[in-house]
Amino acid sequence: MPADIAESLTQYLTTQILKDPARTLLPDEPLISSGLVDSFSLVDLALFVEDTFGVHIDDTELASRVFDTVAELAGIIRQRQV
Amino acid sequence: MPNLARLLAHSYDEDPDRIAIHLLETRTTQELTWRRLIEGAAGYAAELKTANILPGEVVVLILQHGEALITSFFGAMLHGAIPAIMPFLTEKLSPEQYRHSLAALIEITRPAAIITCPEFEGQVRQASPEGSSVRAVLLSNQVVPRVSPKLADLPGYARSPGDICLLQHSSGTTGLQKGVALSHQAVLNQVEGYGRVIHMTSDDVVVSWLPLYHDMGLIAGFLMPLLCRAPLVLMSPFDWIRAPQKLLQAVSRYRGTLSWLPNFAYNFCASKIRDRDLEGLDLSSWRAVINCSEPMRWPSHRVFLERFRAYGLKPEALATCYAMAENVFAVTQGGIDEAVTVDQVDSRSLVVDRVARPAQDGADSLQMLSCGRPIPSTRVRLLDDQHRDLPDRHIGEIALKSDCMLTGYFNRDDLTAKAFHDGWYLTGDLGYLADGEVYVTGRKKDLIIVGGKNVYPQDLEELASQVAGVHPGRVVAFGVFNEQAGTEDVVVVAEADTDDPAERRRIADDIRLRVTRGSDVALHFVQVVDPRWLHKTSSGKIARTANREKYLAEQAA
């Protein structure tokens, strides 16, 4: 597994959510507001984050005003890991 | 003469402090009594009157799932106007595209008023300029409830059973131009007839997360329980999709007895809820969990039961229903008084001979989930291409006749005329009858159903055609069933001149973005192909079925 949080998130998103491993995903690319990650996949993302990093993302936080990019989500994870 | 406004008012008069709806919001719960509902609704009725909106005119509601949507809906009815709920704009949908959809709706439906929230006022005004049918835009935050309203004086009381009581649209540009118009009598006949089949009483508790702009949410998950005075526990689809456990928690807490779910929700709940969110839940009060509105799969029922049996879910609670807005809601119902029939049929015979023969030992077979029997006063026939009756187990088009049929597609007499043959409504769904039970096997029309929501492929193709580098008109959209998700994945295949991989990727990304922002539909796979990859029909149209087969064959190779 990649050591870096952002890298690990990117890999999960491209392979498991977008089903397109060849796709590059920029750290500041909008995920939720753009519809790239649709609402059906948000629970999966939260489950992955909890299982992988031991960080709980509440269902009320699954919204673009809380995080909308890989960089922002990685930031939240780092903050909560402390 | 009964009508919906009178029935609602009657509930208020008899027991105003009874709770009609437990409205679960993201963090809090609102207990909506009949008093609060009807006094709130009377506020909207008064505003519509002040705005000179006439009974019989259409009022479009563009509001988030919540109290204002509910009270404005009933307010329009108390005023005798015809409410039509339009899906709310989500952040990923582009405002331009939403205005375009709204303009399409306005052009055909010709509403006299639109009720929305302040954040949306600008969008709505732009889509309904001077000279359009819209004479008033009312804002939900400016409407105040009327205490102790004189309901019998309101024009809604005088509506006849044959008058149209509401319009129901599917989403997308195509769906919004085709409003299903239903009369008071049709809705009441459905509620009465279907209610009897599922033995619905005021002792039931309905739990729903379904959106109100969809027939299943509007009728089964909203109007039926209210008209039967069964308490309704209502949450928003936005909340449920982020926390599916909320449905099960609500069933346990409120002793829920009935819910309707699209097939994908069985898989979704079974696979995405943690044990800790289910601790202590008791689902034994759930007497029917009714699968409806997209193709139903036996494995979806199985995984749902396996996951929740330990929490008291009864196997006999699993039920099925075949429904459509054109029949108000239910056409058939299965699994209430006896277990849902599972018909084991021969796969080859189904595809090659178009006959659902019971499977012989050893042959490849398919488990078909029965939709049950037609509800009283709805008759079902299976017709061949020449509209002749087919024998049992032969696949044909499902046609129906009932006392709860649509009055017509609103302001679209052309579409209404096309939808009927000899007084029978042609559903466009394919299926068969066996021992009086209806089985749905597919669709005649090109329609994608994703997560229970109807999506018209032409809307997606139109959007994808707008992307630079795509040959206009050389695009196809279709659905492919995803067994794991229990619903269809949406696929777009587009022809482009370039064979540069980087450029093709850019085109694929743009198509994804354009379609999502334009339709609120997330694409699962986008494939950019060479010119002349797509099959066309002899009349030059893109052949969706043939291209879908070609795509699947290439994927399998």
Q: What is the pTM of this model?
A: 0.94
Let me know if residue B348 belongs to a domain. no
- The answer to whether A36 contacts B517, with C-beta atoms less than 8 Å apart, is no
Interface residue ranges in chain B relative to chain A, Cβ cutoff 8 Å: 26-27, 91-92, 238-239, 241-244, 268, 272, 274, 451, 485, 505, 509, 512-513, 516-517, 520, 522, 524-525
Under the banding of pLDDT at 50, 70 and 90, the label for residue B297 is very high
Interface test with A, best of B97, B242, B277, B455 (most A CBs within 10 A): B242
The whole-number pLDDT of residue B352 equals 87
The whole-number pLDDT of residue A19 equals 86
One domain for residues B171 and B194: no
Q: How far is A62 from chain B, CA to nearest CA, in Å?
A: 7
Q: Which residue has the tokens 């519509």?
A: B48
| Mean of pLDDT over chain B | 94
The whole-number pLDDT of residue A3 equals 62
Interface test with B, best of A36, A48, A50 (most B CBs within 10 A): A36
One domain for residues B190 and B331: yes
Mean pLDDT over B56-62 rounds to: 97
Residue type, B476: V
One domain for residues B301 and B330: yes
The whole-number pLDDT of residue A2 equals 55
One domain for residues B184 and B160: no
pLDDT tens track for A31-74: 998 888 988 999 999 999 999 999 999 999 999 999 999 999 99
One domain for residues B186 and B163: no
User: Any residues with CB less than 8 A from the CB of B320 and at least 6 apart, and which?
Assistant: B290, B291, B292, B296, B333, B334, B335, B340, B369, B370, B371, B372
- Two tokens at B96? 């331009």
**Does residue B487 surpass a pLDDT of 60?**
yes
One domain for residues B67 and B157: yes
**Does residue B261 surpass a pLDDT of 60?**
yes
One domain for residues B389 and B475: no
Mean pLDDT over B489-493 rounds to: 95
Q: How far is B460 from chain A, CA to nearest CA, in Å?
A: 15
Residues of chain A with C-beta less than 8 angstroms from the C-beta of B524 = 19
Q: How far is B271 from chain A, CA to nearest CA, in Å?
A: 9
Q: Is the ipTM of this complex over 0.90?
A: yes
pLDDT tens track for B246-260: 999 999 999 999 999
- Two tokens at B446? 């090109």
One domain for residues B134 and B38: yes
One domain for residues B183 and B250: yes
- Two tokens at A78? 């780092």
Q: Is A38 on the interface with B (CB under 8 A)?
A: yes
Under the banding of pLDDT at 50, 70 and 90, the label for residue B304 is very high
Under the banding of pLDDT at 50, 70 and 90, the label for residue B19 is very high
- The answer to whether A40 contacts B522, with C-beta atoms less than 8 Å apart, is yes
One domain for residues B452 and B400: no
Tell me the Ramachandran region of residue B157: left when phi exceeds 0, alpha when psi lies from -120 to 50, beta otherwise.
Answer: alpha
Helix (H) or strand (E) holding B22: strand B19-24
Q: Is A39 on the interface with B (CB under 8 A)?
A: yes
Are the C-beta atoms of B269 and B307 separated by less than 8 Å? Answer: yes
Of A35, A36, A40, which is closest to B241 when you measure between CB atoms? A40
Domain of residue B256, residue span: 179-208+217-342+370-411
Let me know if residue B333 belongs to a domain. yes
Domain count within chain A: 1
Mean pLDDT over B200-221 rounds to: 97
- The answer to whether B27 contacts A34, with C-beta atoms less than 8 Å apart, is no
pLDDT tens track for B355-397: 999 998 878 899 999 999 999 999 999 999 999 999 999 999 9
- The answer to whether A36 contacts B242, with C-beta atoms less than 8 Å apart, is no
Please state, in angstroms and rounded to a whole number, the distance separating the CA atoms of residues B128 and B391. Answer: 51
The whole-number pLDDT of residue B184 equals 98
Please state, in angstroms and rounded to a whole number, the distance separating the CA atoms of residues B475 and B496. Answer: 9
Please state, in angstroms and rounded to a whole number, the distance separating the CA atoms of residues B158 and B3. Answer: 9
pLDDT tens track for B185-196: 999 999 999 999
Residue B142, domain CATH? 3.40.50.980
Of B91, B274, B517, which is closest to A64 when you measure between CB atoms? B91
Residue B401, domain CATH? 3.40.50.12780
Q: Is A14 on the interface with B (CB under 8 A)?
A: no
Are the C-beta atoms of B448 and B455 separated by less than 8 Å? Answer: yes
Helix (H, G, I), strand (E, B) or coil at B287: coil
Domain of residue A27, residue span: 5-81
One domain for residues B277 and B321: yes
The whole-number pLDDT of residue B522 equals 87
Other beta carbons within 10 angstroms of residue B29's beta carbon come to 13
Under the banding of pLDDT at 50, 70 and 90, the label for residue B539 is confident
Domain count within chain B: 3
Let me know if residue B306 belongs to a domain. yes
| End residue of a domain, out of B126, B152, B176 | B176
The whole-number pLDDT of residue B325 equals 95
Task: Express as a percent the part of chain B with pLDDT over 90.
Answer: 81
Residues of chain B with C-beta less than 8 angstroms from the C-beta of A23 = 505, 509
Of B92, B242, B512, which is closest to A62 when you measure between CB atoms? B242
Q: Are strands B420-421 and B408-409 parallel, antiparallel or unpaired?
A: unpaired
The whole-number pLDDT of residue B516 equals 87
One domain for residues B39 and B165: yes
Are the C-beta atoms of B256 and B84 separated by less than 8 Å? Answer: no
Q: Express the helix, strand and coil content of chain A in percent, nearest 5 each.
A: 50, 0, 50
Exposed / middle / buried, residue B275 (Cβ in 10 Å: 0-12, 13-18, 19+): exposed
Which string of DSSP letters, residue by residue, matches B50-114?
HTTPPTT-EEEEE--SSHHHHHHHHHHHHTT-EEEE-PPPPTTS-HHHHHHHHHHHHHHH--SEE
Q: How many CB pairs under 8 A join A and B?
A: 50
- The answer to whether A19 contacts B239, with C-beta atoms less than 8 Å apart, is no
pLDDT tens track for B408-441: 999 999 999 999 999 999 999 999 999 999 999 9
The whole-number pLDDT of residue A43 equals 96
Residues of chain A with C-beta less than 8 angstroms from the C-beta of B26 = 60
Let me know if residue B454 belongs to a domain. yes
Please state, in angstroms and rounded to a whole number, the distance separating the CA atoms of residues B557 and B542. Answer: 23
Q: Is A23 on the interface with B (CB under 8 A)?
A: yes
- The answer to whether A34 contacts B241, with C-beta atoms less than 8 Å apart, is no
Residue type, B485: A
pLDDT tens track for B340-356: 999 999 998 998 899 99
Q: Which residue of B has its CA nearest to A30?
A: B92
Give the closest residue to B82 by CA, choosing from B1, B182, B196.
B182
Mean pLDDT over B221-227 rounds to: 98
pLDDT tens track for B311-321: 999 999 999 99
Please state, in angstroms and rounded to a whole number, the distance separating the CA atoms of residues B457 and B448. Answer: 7
Residue A58, domain CATH? 1.10.1200.10
Q: Is A59 on the interface with B (CB under 8 A)?
A: yes
- The answer to whether B241 contacts A36, with C-beta atoms less than 8 Å apart, is no
Are the C-beta atoms of B297 and B267 separated by less than 8 Å? Answer: no
